[in-house]
Amino acid sequence: PVSPLRVPPRPVAAAAGGASRQHTRIHTFARTRTRTHTHTHTHAPAHTHAHAMGDAEMRDGAPLTSVLDKDTADVTDSDFNLRAEAVVDAAAEAAREARLAEEAQLEDVMLPPPDDDVVRRYNVDDIADRARFIPVRLTLKERKTLRLVSAALDVSEYTDKVDVLTYGSRAKRIHKQLLDVCAILSGLYVAADYRGGQKLVKDREFVQNEEWFRTAFELARRYKIMNPDKLRSDYGKLVCLLQDSNTPEIQDLLEFSCVAPVKTVRSVLEAAGCGAVLRDEYLGLATAEIHAEGKSRFAVQREIRQKERAVEHIANKYASAKMGAEGIRQCLYSVGDNENFLRFNRDPCDKLLSCLRRDFDRAAPRCAARDLGIRVGERGARLTHDHSRQYAFIEQTLSLWSDILGDFFRLWCLAEEDLLDGSNAYRLADTGQGLNRLQQARRVSSAMHGVLHRCQQRCGSWVGSSVVHLGDRAVPNALVFIDKYTQVPRILGPLANVLRQLEPGGRLAEDEALRTYLDEAFGGPEECRLDILCDFFRHAFDGSGADNFMMAGSCIDGRLTSAWNWCSKLESKPFHAVFKLAGFASFDGKWD
């Protein structure tokens, strides 16, 4: 401790003021002490005065020492604060210098040579093949038109008035509703862009604006393929509307077609004579999805800079009069959007597959609590599998879902071709879930059987049925098929997120309070994670969810029905609170 009579030196700027305040405080105390002495001497005997002075000396310690101690503390605190500020300033300056040095290093990041492992690890042929079905990202102008289409579909009651059983003329009803939708869309366009809208409605003939309507509906379809969680209620109306507009009898009444081919990356590049972009050695690097998990900030920024260098290299190399550098960038970003789609839709399947193979043995359970076997009648199960058979059933199902989602853009484009084929008629039928359009889907059915065959070849022996329902009462048309498999990431995504948070380093496993809860309720985060996996692997693949084997069971579509059924019962599970703590909201995705 600092001696009260030895005051540490202040900084130079404050020394004079500090000495002056110290001198004033001592003299003020001396005058106060004199007045106290005089007052006591006047009204009390000598021994009383001495006693009072003793009390004054002992109260809160010696008065002079107390004053000096307080002043010393002030000086020490001030000095400490100045030193702390200096340390903070030095740390901030060091951080700024480190950031500048890092930015300087990032500026020096160059495009790696073509034979570098960073470039060669990507399969350019696979990307070029997928580019045939990858839609082109919308431009800002197209997004404005998209909002008009979405608003028109939102207020339309097309399917409510068309898909009903009445004795009136169905063709006339469809024609009237199509004209109403076009009129609403034209009115919205006039409100959004008066000059452009005036040109659109100048002759009051929709046939004169065929190209505009085709483009507007096409970009809405393109946007939906790239964003399955968007236009979830409007897209069904749009498909039904276009499906009807493409039939021969409606074509005669409407006198124009509302259907245009979807613009894909490959078709746009080849039309502009830039097909070589899809064979460039840097295509993989320019369109790669960058994962930040387990990487430093500098490493992530370095990958971003390398990707930007690759994009600029390709854009400047292949830019032409027909397609400028910005158009090529748009195509590259569209392929990158597909990579992002695969990450958030296919990767949850791969996550569950890795958990199955890591935490469970194929031949036999590691313990009785980890037995995946199921029996008919137990907790709603419609199948009987021992542990090894159930393991194979789960592995094959997750592998198939992963393959379907990896090829989903192609399946979606083929589904739209089936739906919008004017020669492929449909009929209204009661499927047990209301009136549905029963229509054959030959293209997507053929592609789906191809995906299934490849999965069967890879897995070896196949457990369960290999029937694919399409164009029947279970899956009435290709639109329902698409809707079914967009549910897979909505089911597996939240589940994979919870499992990830329960793993070492995850939020639920590392938080002290949550860790205490998991220890008391489940025996720890790892036991909780295994409990969730066991319950999901048993009862999300047990054939439940319907009253017959046509709608559920072990068929290709029935496996997804069982997973839906498991989701509907989550609230009754003992680990429902864990899902909530992990941020779970629902298995229904987001609605715009």
Predicted confidence at residue 8, as pLDDT, reads 44
Tokens of 444: 């997507």
Distance CA 63, CA 337 (A): 76
Predicted confidence at residue 401, as pLDDT, reads 97
Kindly tell me if the per-residue pLDDT of 373 is higher than 80: yes
Predicted confidence at residue 1, as pLDDT, reads 41
Stretch 181-190: mean pLDDT: 89
Predicted confidence at residue 203, as pLDDT, reads 64
Provide the pLDDT confidence category of residue 36 given band limits of 50, 70 and 90. very low
pLDDT more than 70, % of the chain: 84
Kindly tell me if the per-residue pLDDT of 191 is higher than 90: no
Kindly tell me if the per-residue pLDDT of 436 is higher than 70: yes
Which residue bears the tokens 């968007």?
230
Provide the pLDDT confidence category of residue 2 given band limits of 50, 70 and 90. very low
Distance CA 182, CA 258 (A): 10
215-228 burial, b if ≥16 CB within 10 A, otherwise e?
Answer: ebbbbbbbbbbbeb
Which residue bears the tokens 């106290």?
36
**Least confident segment among 176-190, 452-466, 475-489, 546-560:** 546-560
Q: DSSP letter at 374?
A: B
Q: DSSP letter at 410?
A: H
Kindly tell me if the per-residue pLDDT of 198 is higher than 80: no
- At residue 258, what is the residue type? C
Kindly tell me if the per-residue pLDDT of 30 is higher than 50: no
Stretch 264-268: mean pLDDT: 97
User: Across the strands, what pairs with 429?
Assistant: 436
**Least confident segment among 1-15, 111-125, 222-236, 424-438:** 1-15
Kindly tell me if the per-residue pLDDT of 196 is higher than 50: yes
**Least confident segment among 84-98, 223-237, 430-444, 535-549:** 84-98
Distance CA 316, CA 327 (A): 11
- At residue 108, what is the residue type? D
Number of Cβ within 10 Å of residue 564's Cβ equals: 18
| pTM score above 0.75 | yes
Residue 241, exposed/middle/buried by CB under 10 A (0-12, 13-18, 19+)?
buried
Kindly tell me if the per-residue pLDDT of 10 is higher than 50: no
Provide the pLDDT confidence category of residue 352 given band limits of 50, 70 and 90. very high
Provide the pLDDT confidence category of residue 76 given band limits of 50, 70 and 90. low
User: Across the strands, what pairs with 438?
Assistant: 427
* In the chain, domain spans: 12-107, 140-262, 346-581
Number of Cβ within 10 Å of residue 485's Cβ equals: 19
| Most distant pair of Cα atoms in the chain: their distance | 127
Kindly tell me if the per-residue pLDDT of 381 is higher than 50: yes
Provide the pLDDT confidence category of residue 219 given band limits of 50, 70 and 90. very high
Which residue bears the tokens 């990202």?
137
Tokens of 179: 């004209």
Kindly tell me if the per-residue pLDDT of 144 is higher than 50: yes
pLDDT tens for 305-336 read 889 999 999 999 999 999 999 999 999 999 99
User: Across the strands, what pairs with 430?
Assistant: 435
Number of Cβ within 10 Å of residue 58's Cβ equals: 10
Distance CA 532, CA 537 (A): 9
Provide the pLDDT confidence category of residue 154 given band limits of 50, 70 and 90. very high
**Least confident segment among 287-301, 327-341, 484-498:** 287-301
Please, are residues 436 and 466 in contact by the beta-carbon 8 Å criterion? no
- According to the 3-state scheme, what is the secondary structure of 32-48? HHHHHHHHHHHHCCHHH
Predicted confidence at residue 49, as pLDDT, reads 43
Please, are residues 419 and 239 in contact by the beta-carbon 8 Å criterion? yes
Tokens of 134: 């990858």
Q: DSSP letter at 423?
A: T
Q: Which helix (H) or strand (E) element contains residue 90?
A: helix 63-107
Predicted confidence at residue 24, as pLDDT, reads 42
Half-sphere exposure of 100 (CA within 13 A, CB side): 6
SS3 481: helix
Rg over alpha carbons for the chain, rounded to the nearest Å, is: 37
pLDDT tens for 82-124 read 777 777 778 888 888 777 777 777 676 778 888 788 788 889 9
Kindly tell me if the per-residue pLDDT of 48 is higher than 50: no
Distance CA 258, CA 243 (A): 9
Highest mean pLDDT: which range of 4-13, 114-123, 246-255: 246-255
Instruction: Tell me the average pLDDT of the chain.
Output: 85
Predicted confidence at residue 121, as pLDDT, reads 85
Distance CA 121, CA 259 (A): 39
Stretch 485-502: mean pLDDT: 96
Please, are residues 387 and 372 in contact by the beta-carbon 8 Å criterion? yes
Phi/psi of residue 184, each to 5°? -60, -45
Phi/psi of residue 422, each to 5°? -65, -25
503-537 burial, b if ≥16 CB within 10 A, otherwise e?
Answer: eeebebbeeeebeebbeeebeebeebbbbbbbbbb
Highest mean pLDDT: which range of 8-17, 85-94, 181-190, 358-367: 358-367
Predicted confidence at residue 197, as pLDDT, reads 76
Kindly tell me if the per-residue pLDDT of 179 is higher than 80: yes
Phi/psi of residue 264, each to 5°? -110, 165
- At residue 152, what is the residue type? A
Stretch 227-248: mean pLDDT: 94
Predicted confidence at residue 297, as pLDDT, reads 85
Please, are residues 325 and 319 in contact by the beta-carbon 8 Å criterion? yes
Predicted confidence at residue 130, as pLDDT, reads 95
Predicted confidence at residue 377, as pLDDT, reads 87
- CA-based nearest residue to 238, from 158, 145, 177: 158
SS3 438: strand
